[in-house]
Structure 1
């Protein structure tokens, strides 16, 4: 039997907060955010350590990677 080293290098999760999210208010309040609705409909939050990103949509849907 061959022994294999397996390691997780990335995880993606998605959820719904079941509430509308005020993206403009969040972008003006939180650091490390990008919000340009003409280019992309969601708010992007980036965290350096651990390296993680979250996409937050006004519908309450959230996708996190890292």
Structure 2
């Protein structure tokens, strides 16, 4: 999961921020996988965050 990769990602200078971003992604994934509702605005924000992190970690060649 991309959230786990953030914990040690050197592209984010502040380890606390990287850890918190990963926590947001993990917690949202847990809620969705358990079938619990996540407000649509939060779901979209988390999806966009995950997409941006993915692009940052694996830029297109």
Question: Comparing both chains, which one has the higher relative contact order based on Cα–Cα distances under 8 Å and sequence gaps of 6 or more?
Answer: 1
TM-score (norm 1): 0.21
**Please, what TM-score do these two structures have when normalized by structure 2?**
0.22
Higher helix share: 2
Higher strand share: 1
